[in-house]
Chains A and B, each alone.
Chain A
Amino acid sequence: MRPSREGSPWTGLWAVVTKEMADHLTSARMQILEVLIALTALGTVYAAVQEIRAVIGHDPFLFLKLFTVNKDPLPAFVGLMGFLVPLVAIALAFDAVNGEFNRRTISRVLAQPIYRDALLFGKFLAGFFTLAIVLVTIWLLVMGLGLIFLGVPPRGEEVLRGLIYLGACLFYGGIWLALALLFSVVFRQPATAALASMAVWLFFTAFWGMIADVLAPVLRPVRFGLPEEFLAQIQAALALSRFSPNILYGEITLALLRPEVRALGPLLTFQLQGAILGSPLPLSQSLLLIWPHLTGLVASTILLFALSYILFQRQEIRT
């Protein structure tokens, strides 16, 4: 990095953000995904309502059940979101930088009085805001459907928990956005960048859990059959599995939308002391449970973005 640079690195940032967002919101790609998500919301919520009516009846957190209850063969709303949010995020960024190279627009844009920082960060923000718009729309749709089908308004805490879940979804998407952006800097072909992003996603979805289970006994072997040893092994497996954003998302969802969940991972006796089994945890306690998860998501997003930033600064703009 040069010792001194004139002006602000963010000159032109908003010009980039508004242009990119306009592109996203009008692109056929995003419209297809929006329809897909809307259908998902409709389908899963409708199924959840049926199930709630048939099986559950009364529950202090009826509205949250809309998100988490499933009726076979459909997965629950949160399950589908765990799959769709990365998809949308990747779709928003996999051709962000290499697309400019391929269209030969990059040198035109960077010949304007802006820094590369503004272009890259602008593209990230535009993706993030677009994702936010999509998620808020879906969230409102689910809440609206809930009002219609359940016929009761949600309680304050339910709305709050739902909103925090919405924020968590956004940060979960942020990781995949940053990853796709990184690959769009690394690979010249957008198709390669998209495939690489999907491969990472598949790896964490399908294989990382297994790998964590295999690695844990190696790291924390059970030699004497002591309970501490078993516990250490379980905790190692858990810690390893949390390298996966999907697992983090899953645990965050669990803690937020199912207040009766008292701990993530193995439940120890002292955690149960003074607790009435099955009674819901207050929101502040649930938040405490997932705080490390949220910071983990944000930190890895920042890390991935920083990496794309460094690589992008070094690229020669010759096209």
Chain B
Amino acid sequence: MAELVIETKDLTKRYGDLTAVDNLNLKVYEGEVFGLLGPNGSGKTTTILMLLGLTEPTSGSVRVLGFDPARQPLSVKSRVGYLPELVGFYDDLTARENMIYIAKLNGLPRREAYQRIEQALEQVGLEEVADKPVATFSRGMRQRLGLAEILIKEPKLIILDEPTQGLDPEGAREFLELIRKLKGQGITILLSSHILSQVQRICDRVGLFYRGKKVLEGSVSELAREVLGSAYRIRLEVQGVPEALIKALKGIPGVQDVTQQAPDIYEVQAKEDLRAEAVRAVVEAGGKLKGIMVEEPSLDEIYARYFEKGGMVK
């Protein structure tokens, strides 16, 4: 297994009677994109603050890149980039000036800092507006500036709290694309979100939170298998006799359910990717195949179904 980047043991944070984070055991490995998912108030931000040493845990332990954030905050913070929820900037300073301040706080030598700032601005596509005051920036630009600012540290781990909040779907998609590129550079990424479907594409693994507890963890298809009982949904557009087609599809080993959703549209639920088998079955049953696609299960569905079942705790 790759190296551990984040490890928490029985991490707990209480605010009076309220347990914001409840005995959290989390492991994130090098090079992973891990999604911290859950509804509002489920303890995502609190977890992140404890990882950075910005809040002290009530009990339990945290290791980030091998350091204890409560005792070695400087070591942690110089290696970890953090983009807070709805990040703010000094509005009357330019993008570059904002970044210079952060570079100075990181103790970067001037020339090195200027170089890295240039690179980072280019990477997020803000080089043209680098000398405009941040007051004129849109929400999406601010978010990208926040990311650029993190990059000048050359971090090993990036923590993003609700990175797509306040972005339109296109902006969110672009931003997540940027994050995916960072993963390509070998940076470990931890991100939180309450919009499950938005981030599921880029997460290698996710942890679903509910009221401070991590209730589910794994890759999206693992979770789907666990909760929905089927991870793949194959959509077929076929012309033919419905009864014969359904019978043929149901006959494939591994298929759990087949439904007809429209006159010529059939949906096959299966544990594995059975596209090839489905095509063969349809052809053998005398159907005329017009189209086929496999649909990833959505996290929203997993989440909803999980609570429908009354939360079967593993």
Known: A6-B75, A316-B55. A112 touches B106 (CB 8 A): yes
Query: Would you call A163 an interface residue if the criterion is a C-beta within 8 Å of the partner chain's C-beta atoms?
Result: no
- A109→B54 contact, CB < 8 A: no
Q: Which of B54, B101, B105 gathers most chain A CB within 10 Å?
A: B105
Contact A5 B71 (CB under 8 A): yes
Q: Is A156 an interface residue (CB 8 A)?
A: no
Contact: B74 with A103, CB < 8 Å? no
**Interface stretch of the complex, out of B88-96, B196-204, B232-240, B241-249:** B88-96
A108 with B87: CB separation less than 8 A: yes
A122 to B132, CA, bound (A): 26
Known: A103-B88, A104-B88, A317-B54. A112 touches B77 (CB 8 A): yes
Check A113 for interface membership: any CB of B closer than 8 A. yes
Given the known inter-chain contacts A103-B91, A113-B78, please indicate yes or no for A12 contacting B104, CB distance below 8 A.
yes
* A15 adjacent to chain B (CB < 8 Å): yes
* Pair B102/A108 contact, Cβ less than 8 Å: yes
Instruction: From A2, A15, A111, give the contact of B101 (CB < 8 A).
Output: A15
Asked if B89 and A111 make an inter-chain contact with CB atoms under 8 angstroms apart, the answer reads no
Determine the chain A residues whose CB is within 8 A of the CB of B104 once the complex forms. Answer: 12, 15, 18-19
How many chain-A residues does the 8 Å CB contact rule pick out?
28
A31 contacts chain B at the CB level, 8 A cutoff: no
A198 within 8 A of B: no
Instruction: Quote the shortest CB–CB distance from B291 to chain A (angstroms).
Output: 48
> Chain B nearest CB: distance from A5 CB in Å?
7
Q: Is A205 an interface residue (CB 8 A)?
A: no
Contact, CB under 8 Å: B73 / A115: yes
Nearest Cβ on chain A to B18's Cβ, whole angstroms: 14
Q: How far, in whole Å, are A319 and B101 apart by their CA atoms in the complex?
A: 19
Within 8 A of B (CB), among A79-136: 103-105, 107-115
Counting chain B CB atoms within 10 Å of each CB, the highest count among A4, A15, A16 belongs to: A15
B106 with A113: CB separation less than 8 A: yes
A73 within 8 A of B: no
Interface residue tally on B, bucketed by range: 20 to 34
Residue of A nearest to B81 (CB): A111
Q: With A15-B104, A15-B105 as known contacts, state yes or no: A108 contacts B84, CB within 8 Å.
A: yes
* Interchain Cβ contacts within 8 Å, total number: 87
Asked if A107 and B107 sit within 8 Å, CB to CB, the answer is no
A6 and B72 in contact, given A113-B77, A317-B54 (Cβ under 8 angstroms): yes
Answer whether residue B304 sits at the interface, using C-beta atoms and an 8 A cutoff.
no
Say if the beta carbon of A318 comes within 8 Å of chain B: yes
| A7 close to B (CB within 8 Å) | yes
B36 nearest CB across to chain A (Å): 16
Q: Are B71 and A6 in contact (CB under 8 A)?
A: yes
A11, CB-defined interface residue at 8 Å: yes
* Distance A112 CA – B102 CA, assembled complex (angstroms): 7
Minimum CB–CB distance for A147 against chain B, Å: 39
Roughly how many angstroms separate A103 CA and B77 CA in the complex, as a whole number?
Answer: 21
- In the complex, which residue of chain B has the Cβ closest to the Cβ of A16? B105
Query: How distant is A118 from chain B, measured CB to nearest CB, in Å?
Result: 9
Complex Cα–Cα for A6 and B49 (A): 19
Closest 7 CB pairs of A and B: A104-B88, A15-B104, A113-B78, A112-B105, A111-B82, A107-B84, A113-B77
Q: Which residues of A contact B (CB under 8 A)?
A: 2, 4-7, 11-12, 15-16, 18-19, 23, 103-105, 107-115, 316-319
7 contacts between A and B (CB under 8 A): A4-B71, A6-B73, A104-B84, A105-B89, A108-B87, A114-B105, A317-B55
Residues of B within 8 A of A (CB): 45, 49, 52, 54-55, 70-75, 77-78, 80-82, 84, 86-91, 101-102, 104-107, 146, 149
Known: A19-B101, A112-B102. 8 other contacts (CB 8 A): A5-B71, A11-B107, A15-B101, A15-B104, A103-B91, A111-B84, A114-B105, A115-B74
